[in-house]
Copies of this chain bind each other. A is one copy, B any other.
């Protein structure tokens, strides 16, 4: 555990300076990370012990306070409801936090698998921060995949921030059946749960535009009620600070409540569904095949095609292997 702390400590100054130089607004300033800098002492205080319980992933050091709070709330809601079914996270420290040689790209990964009584297969959280020539790119995501004991959809929430005033949101319950052939599935998990109202609600905001994933392979993974949107709060006349503030307002007043609603639907109707019918053997085989494609596509399109250039081949390979290792179990 000390090595994690040292590892953390070593990169704090660089991380802070990098961040501060790009984000002058108080809204998006990272909180002081002194709490980590004291934990290299030989006798940890009770506070240290408490901090150590908090996974590195939960820091989201490059998100605004409002955005970080939302991620924490979502994460707490999932762990609060499912935590007792999840095994402890066991990733090696250099996958819990990783960065490229120059420290311009940083990331954190958090994975917990479900125990034998759980319908959860994997809970996967991550954040990435990359200083690119075009500006900083920040990605924060939380996905929860169910296992073959249920046909219910997976949960996915991802934010891709390419500037302080531009954000892409992917929020959906990923279907695990072909919705053309299984209209009862569409009815149960999408129509009856009224997910569409939340998609429409977000779509009404003037800053929101539908977002089309560039990968054609990713698009069919999403449901017809998926929230795939780009929020653009840039405003040349009023300056970046006003745009950032409006972005926080949208996250706090609109995206947050809706993300919690969708998560609530997933927790109640999918992850903890009581009375769901048993999944037959042949159905399990097809479900497993589809789940494999979903995870494989996510890894290939999202990670294998991006991580090596952002983090170098060694770090990328380490992180991808950790995810694939869990997915292939």
Contacts and interface: CB of A to CB of B under 8 A. Distances in A.
A290 B217 contact: no
A318 interface: no
> DSSP class of A's interface residues: helix, strand, loop or mixed?
helix
A216 B194 CA distance: 11
Nearest to A221: B180
Interface string A201-238: 00100000010100011011100110000000000000
A303 B168 CA distance: 37
B293 A181 contact: yes
Interface residues of A, number: 25
B220 A180 contact: yes
A31 to B, nearest CB: 38
B225 A186 contact: no
Nearest to A196: B216
B290 A186 contact: no
A14 interface: no
Contact of A216 (B210, B219, B225, B297): B225
B289 A181 contact: yes
A183 interface: yes
Nearest to A222: B224
A294 B224 contact: no
Contact of A180 (B183, B199, B293): B293
B224 A220 contact: yes
A43 to B, nearest CB: 53
Contacts of A191: 216
A277 to B, nearest CB: 21
Given A178-B178, A179-B220, A220-B224, 7 more contacts: A180-B290, A181-B289, A181-B293, A183-B217, A183-B293, A183-B297, A196-B216
A159 interface: no
Contacts of A178: 178, 180-181
Contacts of A186: 216-217, 220
29 contacts: A178-B178, A178-B180, A178-B181, A179-B220, A180-B220, A180-B221, A180-B290, A180-B293, A180-B294, A181-B289, A181-B290, A181-B293, A183-B217, A183-B293, A183-B297, A186-B216, A186-B217, A186-B220, A190-B216, A191-B216, A196-B216, A199-B212, A203-B212, A210-B210, A210-B212, A216-B224, A216-B225, A219-B224, A220-B224
Contacts of A290: 180-181
